[in-house]
Chains A and B, each alone.
Chain A
Amino acid sequence: MIRCKLVIPRDSINEAPRLVKRILVIEDDEQTRRMLAEMMRRAGYEVLEAPDGRVGVQLFRAETVDLVITDILMPEKDGLETIRDLKRESPDVKIIAISGGGRTGLLDFLPVARQLGAARTFAKPTDRRELLSAVAEELSV
């Protein structure tokens, strides 16, 4: 059920105002990514999925995205870099960062993510209701 609407030309989307909001999920853990995508779909959103920051940024450039949910520790391009690049390209982008904690157990990345411009940050495992309400709030602003 992975639907990546890479094929739709950018113009056609811009012409017709979209009713359904689109969320880009960047997460390297496949099961977690699938679950997050499924959670968002069931909540009525369209979802794009990317396995790391590099693909995520590419998708973001190619597609119209209303909100980004990104993990922090990822190969290729990690979440902090991704947030920085996305914010540089479109300062208004709404980003929610989710982290399973630093691998060292000593350094916490979420404050840095906030500093870089993430609107909300959550620690994994995140409560579904909290996450969904944060998504809804960010999208309604």
Chain B
Amino acid sequence: MAPAGPGTARGTDGPADTLGPAGTGLAVGTVVIAAGLLSFGASRILGAEGAATILVAAALAGVSASWVASHRSSRKTASRSAEFLRLADGLDTGVCLLGADERWIWVNRKLAAFLGVSREELIGQSPFGFLDDDNRTILREAIERKRLGDYSSYELAVTTGAGRRRVLRITPVPLVGEALGLGASMTIVNDADAAGDDARTTAPEHLLRAILDNAPDGALIIENRRIVLANHRMAELGGYTLEELAERDPFEFIHPVDHGLVEDACDTRGSGAIRRSTWEFRAKRKDGTTGWLRDFVVPISWHGREATLHFCVDISRQREESERRDARERRWRALFDHAPTMLLALDAGGRLEEASRRWYRTIGRERDEALGQPITQFLDEASARLWNERVLPDLESGRSVDAVRCRVAGRDGAVVEVRLSATREPPSGGCDGGFLVALESIGEHERLEAQGRHAQRLEALGTLAGGIAHDFNNILFAILGYADMALEQAPEDGSLRTDLEEILQAARRARELVNQIVTFARDDDGEARPLDPRPIVRESLKLLRATAPATIRLHEDVDSELPTIIAHPAALHQVLVNLFTNAIEAMDEQGDLTVTLRALETHEGPAVLFAIEDTGRGIAEEIRPRIFEPYFTTRPVGAGSGLGLTVVQGIVEELGGSISVSSTPDKGTRFEIVLPAMRPSTATPPSRDEQAGDKVTGRGEHVLLVDDERALIEMLSTMLRSAGYTVEAHTDPRQALTSFRRTPGRFDVVITDQTMPELTGDMLAREILAIRPDVPIVLCTGFSEKVDEERARELGIGGFLMKPFAMKDLTSLIDSLNRKHATGLSS
């Protein structure tokens, strides 16, 4: 016979089952009883025996109530519960606890005697078994009424075990236990024939007083707005003495705001039933402070008159705590709703459970119609796919998703660009868990602002890199120079020569690196290229409009057809800004500045004329020949470098153009620059993106960056991050490959150097493409490396960059690859 494993259930005849529901472990049993005790205090009193029963139980109720709250496994309570059972057993009134399944959990001896069946047989049985059809209906209706809060008494005719028919008066007890989810209800059963008015008047007052005095909760009896009985605990709650409470109007101790509530609660006139069995109010303490009390009210008969018995618990702490909790909750809710970011809580199936107001505004739907819908329903097709294929797998494997770019289908068919960040909420307690999602809209304004910040950071980095490079170049110059001189003196053979060659080699490498960093940081390649001059003129004017005094009028006169010129956008920009600055300065806050752009035919071919004309004070004839001289300035010392026009002339001449000036004192000055147009044969008009020279900004795309040159990789990752990308950088290509293999879906683009020990860039690319053929890859190579653009294309590598390259080259390449990739996804 196979031995039963540790997890095997015990046989149905095992001790656990024979104990029955009332005995299934002390914990469950005592909880049920405790609930019963608690509510017992709120039961109705029918007769002298009943009153005694209830008060005994009520005395225990407080203990049990606090026990339910804080000492679930307290031994003391267990013994008190046992004591209650013993007491209840000794009563001359039937008492029972009915489970949620409508079977008896416990009955006392008296009830068992009423029914003529042993207690052991009754436990686990249904009371319906003792009733005929009519009485079953009565009980069924009574249970239904009780569910709706109606605890009025009723009578039932039962057929006892001996076949006798008896009429019992049943009083259901409003059970706090039910509210606590404990599923038991208590019923007091009296022999209807034995209950009489005479019994009601014989309530033994000294017994009541003794019991109340031992109750752990405050207790008092009020009759006709007069406190006729109070226990010590009640007095203690408010810091009073018993004498101070006796015979007083209870309303003196109640906060005026709650008077109406109390009147309502104590009103037993007419029906003899209370409207509320449990309620909360503010009571005045003797020291003038206010505290919260919870009151269980029971209508009783006091010396033959209607009265109410109250059990009071101090709930100030809980009230304060719950008020604090409510306030906290309100605060979080306000934060949640007013956040500029859309915040979403999704269930485990990705359906909307909760969202901040901004979300509903963005999608243009009401909360009710959006809740329960899957998030993908609110995304455009490509983004929904992104969610299912990339975001969800990441979240489900426990990784957070940071700033992934998505599109939300907004109101009236509008599409809202957002950055999506999300994290998984693991299951806890009764919750299945789900996902927490934040969506940040990338409005035009934000995008521009980010670009501005990006440009500033780049400039700062460029300055830093330039400074370092300057010092570094000096050092390298010394190393290279000395090593080279030493090499010349070194004997033809021998290790000195090879050592020096190594030094030279290393220094040249360092020179390359510095060169790369400087070029990279410069934010452009420093080379002239074909461009349309108009956007640059317009941009410079825009800048001028923002900085020039409002009293200066700016005019723009630009030919609609202009040939393409060859220029370096930043340099051209610099030329215009320098000339504008001079013009503004010459006008003393009054005047007109006119910029003219004309297509021109010179004897050398087509050209573009830039004319900048002001109505300022002009340039005196005697100094006119000197204005292009370096350090020549008419401004006071410290107000200008005197290099402005020198730089302008330098740039214009580098571009193969010419500059001239004409001026009339007190009338104004006109500078004319002529730049040659590109020969039509080679003209390929640049795309709008290129000519605007705008800085392509990342949108949180994940970049896997691989280069064995640590200095370069640090520089690159800093700049990529500042440009809005999320970067994972590796100096070891094998580690990069491992990382990619682990989560191929995470990366939007891979940037790798070609020359690396262990694994070259093309080999790495091949491995990566074998895992995920659609991932965009950028391969960076030095000048004389074996992989060229054509070879890269053969390998399936979409992007190719020759070192040194500028940051802008890299970001615009990433952008175009991603755009291509996105098109591929959505097509």
Give the B-binding residues of A (Cβ under 8 A).
29, 31-32, 35-36, 38-39, 42, 73, 80-81, 84, 100-108, 111-112, 115-116, 123-128
Q: Decide if B643 is an interface residue (CB 8 Å cutoff).
A: yes
Q: Are A126 and B477 in contact (CB under 8 A)?
A: yes
Q: Which chain A residues lie closer than 8 Å to B488 at the CB level?
A: 42
Q: Are B643 and A81 in contact (CB under 8 A)?
A: no
Instruction: Evaluate whether A105 and B485 lie within 8 angstroms (CB atoms) in the complex, with A29-B474, A35-B478 already known.
Output: no
Q: Which residue of chain A lies nearest to B653 when distances are taken between CB atoms in the complex?
A: A115
Q: Enumerate B597-650 residues with CB–CB distance to A below 8 Å.
A: 629-631, 643, 646-647, 649-650
Q: Are B630 and A116 in contact (CB under 8 A)?
A: yes
Closest approach, in angstroms, between the C-beta of A66 and any C-beta of chain B?
A: 21
Closest approach, in angstroms, between the C-beta of A30 and any C-beta of chain B?
A: 9
Closest approach, in angstroms, between the C-beta of A9 and any C-beta of chain B?
A: 33
Leading 9 A-B pairs by shortest Cβ distance = A105-B466, A100-B473, A125-B477, A124-B473, A100-B470, A35-B481, A125-B476, A105-B462, A29-B474
What is the bound-complex CA distance between A102 and B518, given in angstroms? 10
From A36, A100, A104, A108, give the contact of B463 (CB < 8 A).
A104
With a 10 A CB-CB cut-off, give which of A73, A104, A124, A126 has the most chain B CB atoms: A124
What is the bound-complex CA distance between A77 and B631, given in angstroms? 12
Q: Are B507 and A103 in contact (CB under 8 A)?
A: no
A112-B647, A116-B630 known, 5 other contacts, Cβ within 8 Å: A100-B473, A103-B467, A111-B650, A124-B477, A128-B484
Q: Decide if B471 is an interface residue (CB 8 Å cutoff).
A: yes
Q: Which chain B residues lie closer than 8 Å to A104 at the CB level?
A: 462-463, 466-467
What is the bound-complex CA distance between A38 and B472, given in angstroms? 20
Q: Are B465 and A128 in contact (CB under 8 A)?
A: no
Q: Are A111 and B466 in contact (CB under 8 A)?
A: no
Q: Are B469 and A111 in contact (CB under 8 A)?
A: no
Q: Are A123 and B473 in contact (CB under 8 A)?
A: yes
Q: Decide if B734 is an interface residue (CB 8 Å cutoff).
A: no
Q: Are A42 and B466 in contact (CB under 8 A)?
A: no
With a 10 A CB-CB cut-off, give which of B477, B478, B480, B570 has the most chain A CB atoms: B477
Closest approach, in angstroms, between the C-beta of B539 and any C-beta of chain A?
A: 17
Q: Which chain A residues lie closer than 8 Å to B649 at the CB level?
A: 115
Q: List 17 A-B contacts (CB under 8 A).
A: A29-B478, A32-B474, A32-B481, A35-B477, A39-B481, A100-B469, A101-B466, A102-B470, A104-B462, A105-B463, A105-B465, A105-B521, A106-B459, A106-B463, A115-B649, A124-B473, A125-B511
Q: Are B481 and A105 in contact (CB under 8 A)?
A: no
Closest approach, in angstroms, between the C-beta of A109 and any C-beta of chain B?
A: 9
Q: Decide if B721 is an interface residue (CB 8 Å cutoff).
A: no
Q: Which chain B residues lie closer than 8 Å to A106 at the CB level?
A: 459, 462-463, 466, 522, 570
With a 10 A CB-CB cut-off, give which of A31, A81, A106 has the most chain B CB atoms: A106
Q: Enumerate B568-595 residues with CB–CB distance to A below 8 Å.
A: 570
What is the bound-complex CA distance between A35 and B475, given in angstroms? 10
What is the bound-complex CA distance between A107 and B485, given in angstroms? 32
Q: Enumerate B428-476 residues with CB–CB distance to A below 8 Å.
A: 459, 462-463, 465-467, 469-476
What is the bound-complex CA distance between A124 and B476, given in angstroms? 8
Closest approach, in angstroms, between the C-beta of B816 and any C-beta of chain A?
A: 26
Q: Are B470 and A73 in contact (CB under 8 A)?
A: yes
Q: Which residue of chain A lies nearest to B459 when distances are taken between CB atoms in the complex?
A: A106
Q: Decide if B783 is an interface residue (CB 8 Å cutoff).
A: no
What is the bound-complex CA distance between A81 and B646, given in angstroms? 13
What is the bound-complex CA distance between A112 and B526, given in angstroms? 16
What is the bound-complex CA distance between A105 and B521, given in angstroms? 8
What is the bound-complex CA distance between A84 and B629, given in angstroms? 9
What is the bound-complex CA distance between A36 and B471, given in angstroms? 16
What is the bound-complex CA distance between A69 and B643, given in angstroms? 22
From B471, B526, B651, give the contact of A100 (CB < 8 A).
B471
What is the bound-complex CA distance between A34 and B489, given in angstroms? 18
Q: Decide if B482 is an interface residue (CB 8 Å cutoff).
A: yes
What is the bound-complex CA distance between A102 and B465, given in angstroms? 10
What is the bound-complex CA distance between A29 and B646, given in angstroms? 27
Q: Which residue of chain A lies nearest to B526 when distances are taken between CB atoms in the complex?
A: A108
Q: Decide if B556 is an interface residue (CB 8 Å cutoff).
A: no
Closest approach, in angstroms, between the C-beta of B424 and any C-beta of chain A?
A: 44
Q: Are A125 and B473 in contact (CB under 8 A)?
A: yes
Q: Which chain A residues lie closer than 8 Å to B479 at the CB level?
A: 125
Q: Are B482 and A35 in contact (CB under 8 A)?
A: yes
What is the bound-complex CA distance between A123 and B473, given in angstroms? 9
Q: Decide if B502 is an interface residue (CB 8 Å cutoff).
A: no
Q: Are B485 and A39 in contact (CB under 8 A)?
A: yes
Closest approach, in angstroms, between the C-beta of B716 and any C-beta of chain A?
A: 16
Q: Which chain B residues lie closer than 8 Å to A115 at the CB level?
A: 630, 646, 649-650, 653
Q: Which chain B residues lie closer than 8 Å to A125 at the CB level?
A: 473-474, 476-477, 479-481, 507, 511
What is the bound-complex CA distance between A29 and B470, given in angstroms? 11
Q: Are B518 and A124 in contact (CB under 8 A)?
A: no
Q: Are A128 and B470 in contact (CB under 8 A)?
A: no
Q: Which chain A residues lie closer than 8 Å to B518 at the CB level?
A: 101, 105
Q: Decide if B714 is an interface residue (CB 8 Å cutoff).
A: no
Q: Which residue of chain B lies nearest to A28 when distances are taken between CB atoms in the complex?
A: B474
Q: Are A84 and B476 in contact (CB under 8 A)?
A: no
Q: Are A84 and B631 in contact (CB under 8 A)?
A: yes
Q: Decide if B654 is an interface residue (CB 8 Å cutoff).
A: yes
From A32, A42, A81, give the contact of B631 (CB < 8 A).
A81
What is the bound-complex CA distance between A126 and B480, given in angstroms? 8
What is the bound-complex CA distance between A104 and B479, given in angstroms? 24
Residues 288-331 of chain B, each 1 if its beta carbon lies under 8 Å from chain A, else 0: 00000000000000000000000000000000000000000000
Q: Are A32 and B485 in contact (CB under 8 A)?
A: no
What is the bound-complex CA distance between A32 and B482, given in angstroms? 10
Q: Which residue of chain B lies nearest to A127 when distances are taken between CB atoms in the complex?
A: B480
Q: Which residue of chain B lies nearest to A106 when distances are taken between CB atoms in the complex?
A: B462
Q: Which chain A residues lie closer than 8 Å to B643 at the CB level?
A: 80, 112
From B466, B474, B478, give the contact of A102 (CB < 8 A).
B466
Q: Are A101 and B463 in contact (CB under 8 A)?
A: no
What is the bound-complex CA distance between A35 and B478, given in angstroms? 6
Q: Which chain A residues lie closer than 8 Å to B484 at the CB level?
A: 128
Q: Enumerate B493-522 residues with CB–CB distance to A below 8 Å.
A: 507, 511, 518, 521-522
With a 10 A CB-CB cut-off, give which of B473, B631, B649, B654 has the most chain A CB atoms: B473
Q: Which chain A residues lie closer than 8 Å to B472 at the CB level?
A: 100
Q: Which chain B residues lie closer than 8 Å to A126 at the CB level?
A: 477
What is the bound-complex CA distance between A105 and B646, given in angstroms? 19
Q: Which chain B residues lie closer than 8 Å to A31 at the CB level?
A: 474-475, 478
Q: Which residue of chain A lies nearest to B487 when distances are taken between CB atoms in the complex?
A: A128
Closest approach, in angstroms, between the C-beta of B477 and any C-beta of chain A?
A: 4
Q: Which chain A residues lie closer than 8 Å to B476 at the CB level?
A: 124-125
Q: Which chain A residues lie closer than 8 Å to B630 at the CB level?
A: 80-81, 84, 112, 115-116
Instruction: Evaluate whether A101 and B469 lie within 8 angstroms (CB atoms) in the complex, with A80-B630, A128-B484 already known.
Output: yes
From B463, B480, B522, B629, give the contact of A103 (CB < 8 A).
B463
Closest approach, in angstroms, between the C-beta of B97 and any C-beta of chain A?
A: 85
Q: Are B485 and A42 in contact (CB under 8 A)?
A: yes
What is the bound-complex CA distance between A124 and B481, given in angstroms? 11
What is the bound-complex CA distance between A99 and B178, given in angstroms? 88
Q: Which chain A residues lie closer than 8 Å to B646 at the CB level?
A: 112, 115
Closest approach, in angstroms, between the C-beta of B801 and any C-beta of chain A?
A: 20
Closest approach, in angstroms, between the C-beta of A36 and any C-beta of chain B?
A: 7
Q: Which chain A residues lie closer than 8 Å to B481 at the CB level?
A: 32, 35-36, 38-39, 125, 128
What is the bound-complex CA distance between A42 and B481, given in angstroms? 12
What is the bound-complex CA distance between A38 and B481, given in angstroms? 9
Closest approach, in angstroms, between the C-beta of A121 and any C-beta of chain B?
A: 12
Instruction: Evaluate whether A128 and B485 lie within 8 angstroms (CB atoms) in the complex, with A105-B465, A105-B521, A112-B630 already known.
Output: yes
Q: Which chain B residues lie closer than 8 Å to A42 at the CB level?
A: 485, 488
Q: Are A100 and B462 in contact (CB under 8 A)?
A: no
From A101, A111, A112, give the contact of B470 (CB < 8 A).
A101
Q: Which chain A residues lie closer than 8 Å to B629 at the CB level?
A: 84
Q: Which chain A residues lie closer than 8 Å to B521 at the CB level?
A: 105
Closest approach, in angstroms, between the C-beta of B283 and any C-beta of chain A?
A: 75
Q: Are A124 and B650 in contact (CB under 8 A)?
A: no
Q: Enumerate B210-261 residues with CB–CB distance to A below 8 Å.
A: none
What is the bound-complex CA distance between A81 and B642, given in angstroms? 11
Q: Which chain A residues lie closer than 8 Å to B480 at the CB level?
A: 125, 127-128
